[in-house]
Chains A and B, each alone.
Chain A
Amino acid sequence: MLQHNLMHQPSHGMSRRGVLQLGQLTALGVGLSQLPMSLGAASKPATAKNCILIWLDGGPSHLETFDLKPAAPVEVRGPLNAIQTSVFGVSLSECLPGLAQRMSDIAVIRSMTSPLGEHNLGAHYLLTGYRPSPVLQYPSFHAVANQQLGNVAGALPNNIAIPEYRVGGAGFDGTGVLPSRFGAFSVGGDPAKKDYRVRDLIPPDGLTLDRIDRRRSFAEKLATLNSSAAPSQSLANAFEIVTSPAARTAFDLDDESPATRGRYGSKSVGQSCLMARRLVERGVHFVTVNQRGWDTHENLYTRLKEGYTGAKVGVGLIPSLDLAVSALIDDLKQSGLLDETLVVVMGEFGRTPKINTLGGRDHWPRVFSVALAGGGVKGGQVIGASDSVGESPADRPVTPSDLVCTIYSLLGIDPAAVLKTEDGRPVRLAADDASVVQELLS
């Protein structure tokens, strides 16, 4: 109750965003009469069944990606230029030409706001919708969705992280109070490497399927004979995935044509997104692609754009992300999966408005951006705005709690549903004060 009082109350109502939306719609040739008249009206049934989270670990600079400030002083504006997108009046970073072209499928929230500027705390807030608490570890929205919607991915784990689910430093495994089987399975390694294989997926020579079955029966028998040691669900999962040929091929990127692999870009994030697409096609519902390196305290230009000093074609974090997400959206659209697959691109916070003395930007949670596509998200819009220097929300602040609440709604999960922890403590899926960002729902 006390906490509630200390929270900022977001102000609602028609605002600059509404004006922007109007502009887009006319640009797309939609008549005024078709404008959604009420933002608060009950939404259509959820269409999203899957969610691919592209996690930009370390905290991506909003000022170099989704919220450029071309009119701001140079120390705020930074080294990158803004480019127009396919949606009238919306611009993105020059390093995101692919997303700019696909802007009609993408919604950007430019008014995300959080008070937590430390990696672990910020990641916890963005991924769970709750600020960290000393008494319980909240579960990530992927783990919650996995638990709520049930495992129907066959032998494959329903929640997979590529390559690792280690986000925001150590200490956060995303499972929280849920049993560990709902957490993400980390495939390990780097899918961009030649001859990449998921670690320990293929049995060694001599370990036949019969023997694997026997090991399984022994393990189960020992657990039942020994009352103090409960059988491990993850052991059962391990047996299933190892014995399923379909599961094995799901991870095999050599199955894709060189042209397809090329479209996603040669970097880890690209090949990880390609693997994410293969997994979703095979019934995996929740995939986290973890792109590391966004903690750009120094040398931001090289790390974000060039990749290495003097690169002719940028191969830094943003161009790599652009190729990966563009190809992912294209392929999901092509196969008809985009409508039921929510793609979320975000990190734990933004970066300071002013470039520091090392040519970088430091942590800045007060305002930052998040991009979403597919899964019933209404594309071609920008929600909220930051102020003229990207320092604070200027309009329509959205908290991580609101975002997670919205993701649950898009997935058809009731944000007000309550989990029971092992010791009987009730935990509401979304925080009490969270509200759905209605504008996102189409």
Chain B
Amino acid sequence: MHVLVVMILLALTSGVAAADRDLQPADFDTQVMPILTKAGCNAGACHGAAAGRGGFQLSLYGSRPQSDFAEITLALEGRRINHRNALDSLLLMKPTEQVSHEGGTRLDSDGADFKLLSRWITEGAKRSGSAGRRELADFRLKAEASQLSLGQTIQLSATATFSDGAQRDVLPWTVFKPDDPSAVEISDAGKLTVSRIGRHVVVARYLNQVVALELLVPETPVLIQTRTTQKADSIDEFVDARLQRLGIVAAAAATNAELIRRLSIDLTGRLPLPDQVEPFVRDGSLSAHVDELLQSDAFVDYWTHHLAELFRVPDLRSNRPAANAYFMWLRKCVADDVSFQDMARQLVLAEGAVAEYGPASFYAVVGDPRSQAEFLSSVFLGVRMQCANCHDHPLDAWTQDDYHGLAAIFAGIKRGAVIQATTSGQVIHPATGDPAIVRIPGVDRSLDDGDPRVALTDWLTSDQNPYFAKAIVNRIWSHLMGRGLVEPVDDLRSTNPATHPELLNWLAEDFVEHGYRIRHTVRQICLSAAYRRSSRSSSANPTAEKFYAVGAVKPLTPAVLLDAVCDVTGVRGILTNPDSRAISLAGLTEKSESLDLLGRCQTADCGVAASRSGELPVQLHLLNGELLNERLRDPNGALMQAVAAKKSWRQIVNGFYLRSYSRRPSVAEAEFWDKQFSAVDGGADATTLVEDFLWSLLSSEEFRNSR
């Protein structure tokens, strides 16, 4: 029996050596590890979990070959490797289920991978051969085409280049993960077929490298024309090129009447004033109007509200002086059009009393160095660094050293009434158990003595930082266009590519060139044809909205909706100070059942996924709650004042249409209301009728959305 096995092994070894000339003996890091990754051994659900599985622990997707090598060859008294008889090694018997294996059969005992593993063991299970350690230098994934038609099959190829210069087809060890497995099928031989139109992303992993591949599948085959020489608005050039490749026809431009409401809500969080509407509809200049809005106090109020949510002012609700200083500092930055680069510098380098010096609260809204690292990564880099807390980020380049090194930069921060940067304090790196070494994410350079935040800030706000500008322009784009070029907006990474990567680059460069000014980018977007499209869809293509072929229908945020209700009814009083708007500091920090019910975010990272209390509670609140009912019948409110002033029904109807919808009633609507009002002749009946009239406007979908 033993003789037979040895003979087979000899045969195998010689056979493999002929086909695989590059390394002899087999190399652990670049030949054995890819097999384990492909077989799923080091996935998070198996031995790649932080605590391993079944007593066998590998690094997630093989990010730490050294410890994996030790785990396989030395741990468990070396029982995983049998040097005398390779085939009796647990490393081979488990995945082929010759002994019971909870993970089932992972390897075919006749396959090439099994043979290579057994050869590696026979050769002595060495980390590397005589040529020394070899690393992966480059991994490339190619598709025959990036644009394909429905049902078409294309061939993928995957090539690795190693540190010794060797190149190799690594398709068999590449793990593919399409974002939509029901639409994209990839065979073991690397044949890819797409069964749904639109844009698809496939993430491919080989060893510790991940790359994303984008595929476009138009509804009907389109002819790709060469770029027109006529230069359009730059944003539109990028957006239109994508639409063309996807064969999607864009909607017509929105009318001025639609645009004035959209612009006003997006830029100032308010409905247009009734007397602004008709002049603009008649002969308004878009760019003049956008400029006017950009210079208004209302713009400052509303964008301060945005930034206050982003920088977590609501988390200071139990420390009003700090919240106030933080909020007012943000407001001053918006009012003075301070560059976002300067804002970041002041925030990251802040020290001082939180009640007096606003930026210091950048350190008061979180409680410890690790949360600080996550918070900073999220707001300034648009990156979810938290994955790298327990293991290297599985879908990005961030390592555990990056995460804990960044956290270590904040280890000396003393939090309290006064924020102080000291040199004491440390962050323990969980993999080593030692204090983590301060480190700028992704930068292999030791930091000078002194406050490490200085070097961090220089790196963060450098024009060359690939994340800083993109993260903020993507947020601005998302606010105005209804969805980010990268979604979610805090998840920028190569494996989550933008729908329009060149556009995102262009916006970021344009932002940097124009001094990191938020107003500039807002203006650029608002003047684009993409922003100005009608929200009435002309295309049945399900991806039309994602590619900005139609204007987005955006629900008013809870605060904006509440302010709009107050403005139309002329009755405020939703917060302790009856004059406060919901977008003010009080609206972010005070209790308000209406705001919560409408979906105000109540947790730290709600900017990303605001919770919804469901539609029915909102509808019940609009119908029975005091929010509308009290405001409709308030004798000092706009409605009862109009009644008291003995305005005609028609004037009341027209007036409130203009206030609520920024338009006049259509002929059919005017007729309908005429009929209703002519059926009552004054008195109490008329009062309740007029209340119910305005109630129906304010609870309608048209009112509650920006379109």
Contacts and interface: CB of A to CB of B under 8 A. Distances in A.
Interface of A: 1-3, 5-6, 8-9, 115, 133-136, 157, 164-166, 169-171, 173, 180-181, 183-186, 188, 199-204, 206-207, 211-212, 214-215, 218-219, 221-223, 225-226, 228-230, 232, 234-235, 237-239, 241-242, 366, 392, 422-427
Nearest to A134: B179
Contacts of A204: 624, 626, 629
A212 to B, nearest CB: 7
B613 interface: yes
B614 A8 contact: no
B387 to A, nearest CB: 11
Interface stretch (B13-21, B322-330, B406-414, B603-611): B603-611
A196 to B, nearest CB: 15
Contact of B54 (A157, A211, A392): A392
Nearest to A230: B701
Given A135-B180, A228-B702, 16 more contacts: A1-B181, A2-B175, A115-B44, A115-B49, A169-B603, A170-B610, A171-B608, A171-B611, A199-B617, A215-B692, A215-B695, A218-B676, A218-B692, A225-B672, A226-B700, A239-B623
Contacts of A223: 700-701
B479 interface: no
B696 A222 contact: yes
A104 B535 CA distance: 59
Nearest to B610: A170
A258 B543 CA distance: 57
Contacts of A1: 181, 185-186
5 contacts: A204-B626, A228-B535, A234-B619, A242-B620, A366-B53
Given A199-B617, A426-B182, A219 B535 contact: no
Closest 9 CB pairs of A and B: A423-B542, A171-B609, A115-B45, A218-B696, A234-B615, A238-B619, A229-B701, A170-B611, A200-B620
Interface string B589-615: 000000001000111001011111111
Contacts, number: 162
Nearest to B684: A206
A135 B614 CA distance: 22
A5 B606 CA distance: 35
Contacts of A242: 620, 623-624
Nearest to A135: B180
B34 to A, nearest CB: 16
Given A219-B699, A229-B701, A392-B54, A234 B616 contact: yes
Interface string B73-94: 0000000000000000000000
Given A180-B615, A200-B624, A219 B700 contact: yes
A427 B40 CA distance: 26
B113 to A, nearest CB: 14
Interface size class of B (residues with CB under 8 A): 35 or more
Contacts of A166: 611, 613
Which secondary structure dominates chain A's binding surface?
loop
A392 B619 contact: no
Interface in B524-581: 535-536, 542
A431 to B, nearest CB: 11
B697 interface: yes
A134 B183 CA distance: 13
Contacts of B701: 223, 229-230, 232
A349 to B, nearest CB: 13
Interface string B40-71: 10011100010001100000000000000000
Interface of B: 40, 43-45, 49, 53-54, 102-104, 175-177, 179-183, 185-186, 196, 496, 535-536, 542, 597, 601-603, 606, 608-626, 629, 633, 666, 668-669, 672, 676, 688-689, 692-693, 695-697, 699-702, 705, 707
A203 B624 contact: yes
Nearest to A235: B619
Contacts of B609: 170-171
A363 to B, nearest CB: 11
Contacts of A234: 614-616, 618-619
A183 B614 contact: yes
| Residue in B49, B613, B676, B705 whose Cβ sees the most chain A Cβ within 10 Å | B613
A3 B44 CA distance: 13
B614 A165 contact: yes
A203 B702 contact: no
Given A6-B40, A173-B611, A238-B616, A215 B696 contact: yes
Contact of A228 (B53, B496, B611, B707): B707
| Residue in A184, A207, A218, A366 whose Cβ sees the most chain B Cβ within 10 Å | A218
A136 B53 CA distance: 30
B611 A186 contact: no
Nearest to A224: B668
A186 B620 CA distance: 11
B102 A8 contact: yes
A234 B609 CA distance: 22
A202 B624 contact: yes
Contacts of B621: 199-200
Contact of B614 (A185, A202, A226, A427): A185
Given A180-B614, A215-B695, A225-B666, A203 B619 contact: no
Contacts of B496: 134
Nearest to B667: A225
Nearest to A202: B624
A238 B542 contact: no
B617 A186 contact: yes
Contacts of B176: 2
B218 to A, nearest CB: 15
Given A2-B181, A222-B697, A226-B702, A215 B623 contact: yes
Contacts of A214: 689, 692
Nearest to B629: A204
B182 A425 contact: yes
A8 B620 contact: no
